[in-house]
Chain A
Amino acid sequence: MVTKLPKVNVVTVGIGWMGGIVAAELTKAGFNVVGLDKGKEKNLKDYALTHDELRYKNRGEGLQKTTNETHTVRNTLDEEAYPVRSKLSAIIGDGIGGGGSHWAAQTHRYYPYDFEIRTKTIEKYGEDKIPKDMTIQDWGITYDELEPYYDKFEKMAGISGEPDPNYPQRSNPYPNPPLKKNELIRMYEETTKKLGYKPFMIPTGTVSQTYTNPDGQQLNACQYCSFCSQNYCEFGAKADPVITVIPTAQKTGKFELRAHSKVTRVLHENGKATGVLYQDTRTGEMYEQPADLVVLSSFVFSNVRLLLLSGIGKPYDPISGTGVIGKNFTDHHNAVSATGLFDDKKFNNYAATGAYGMTFTDFTGDLIDHSNLDFLHGGEIEARFSGNSPIGTNLTPPGSPKWGREFKKLSLFYHNRAISLFSQFATLPYKHHYLDLDPNYKDINGDPLIRITWDYSDNDRGIHKFIQEKEVELLKAMGATHIIPAPMADHFTGHLAYQHNSGGAIMGADPETSAVNKYLQMWDMENLFVCGASAFPHFGVTNPTTTASALTYHATEGMIKYLKEGGGLLAQTKKEKTLA
Chain B
Amino acid sequence: MSEEQKKDPILEKPTSRREFLKNSGLTVGGLVLGGALGGTFLSKTETVTKEVEVEVPVEVPASSDTQHETHETHEVPNYTDALQYFTRLEDFLVLSAATETIYPEDEHGPGAIKLGAPFYIDKQLASPWGRNADDYMVRPFRPGESPLTRSEIVLQGVRKLNEVSQEKHSIAFNELSEEQQIAILTDFESGNIEMELTSSASFFTFLRQLTLEGCFSDPLYGGNKNMEGWKMKEFPGAQMSYVHVVESKEFVKIDPISLSAHIKH
How far is A440 from B248 in the complex, measured between Cα atoms in Å? Answer: 56
List the one stretch of B75-83, B156-164, B210-218 in contact with chain A.
B210-218
**B239: Cβ under 8 A from any A Cβ:** yes
Instruction: Name the A residues within 8 Å of B216 (CB-CB).
Output: 53, 390-391
**A384: Cβ under 8 A from any B Cβ:** no
Q: When the two chains form their complex, are residues A404 and B106 in contact, meaning their CB atoms are under 8 A apart?
A: no
Instruction: Name the B residues within 8 Å of A226 (CB-CB).
Output: 242
Residues of A336-362 whose CB lies within 8 A of B: 346-348, 350-352
Residues of B215-245 whose CB lies within 8 A of A: 216-218, 220-221, 229-230, 232-243, 245
Known: A225-B240, A390-B230. A65 touches B106 (CB 8 A): no
Instruction: Name the B residues within 8 Å of A346 (CB-CB).
Output: 251
Instruction: Name the B residues within 8 Å of A52 (CB-CB).
Output: 218, 220, 238, 259
Q: When the two chains form their complex, are residues B245 and A59 in contact, meaning their CB atoms are under 8 A apart?
A: no
**Neighbour of B137 across the interface among A60, A85, A210, CB < 8 A:** A85
How far is A49 from B20 in the complex, measured between Cα atoms in Å? Answer: 13
Q: When the two chains form their complex, are residues B246 and A224 in contact, meaning their CB atoms are under 8 A apart?
A: yes
**B167: Cβ under 8 A from any A Cβ:** no
How far is A58 from B211 in the complex, measured between Cα atoms in Å? Answer: 13
**B85: Cβ under 8 A from any A Cβ:** no
Interface of B (DSSP majority class): loop
**Neighbour of B235 across the interface among A49, A86, A350, A404, CB < 8 A:** A350
Known: A221-B34, A348-B242, A442-B138. A235 touches B24 (CB 8 A): yes
**B102: Cβ under 8 A from any A Cβ:** yes
**B247: Cβ under 8 A from any A Cβ:** yes
Q: When the two chains form their complex, are residues A85 and B136 in contact, meaning their CB atoms are under 8 A apart?
A: yes
List the one stretch of B46-54, B63-71, B127-135, B194-202 in contact with chain A.
B127-135
Interface size on B, residues (CB 8 A): 61
Instruction: Name the B residues within 8 Å of A65 (CB-CB).
Output: 134
0 or 1 for each of A447-467: is its CB under 8 Å from B? (1 = yes): 000000000000000000000
Q: Classify chain A: how many residues form its interface, as a range.
A: 35 or more
Question: B109 → chain A, closest Cβ, in Å?
Answer: 8
Known: A82-B145, A86-B135. A235 touches B246 (CB 8 A): no
Report B's interface with A, CB cutoff 8 A: 24, 26, 30, 32-34, 37, 40, 101-104, 106, 108, 111, 129, 132-138, 140, 142, 145, 182, 185, 208, 211-213, 216-218, 220-221, 229-230, 232-243, 245-249, 251-252, 259, 262-263
The 3 closest A-B pairs by CB, nearest first: A351-B242, A51-B238, A223-B241
Q: List 28 A-B contacts (CB under 8 A).
A: A51-B240, A52-B220, A53-B216, A54-B218, A66-B136, A67-B134, A67-B137, A69-B136, A84-B136, A85-B145, A86-B135, A86-B136, A181-B247, A182-B247, A183-B248, A210-B32, A222-B243, A223-B243, A224-B242, A226-B242, A235-B33, A236-B30, A351-B242, A391-B216, A403-B185, A405-B104, A405-B106, A408-B106
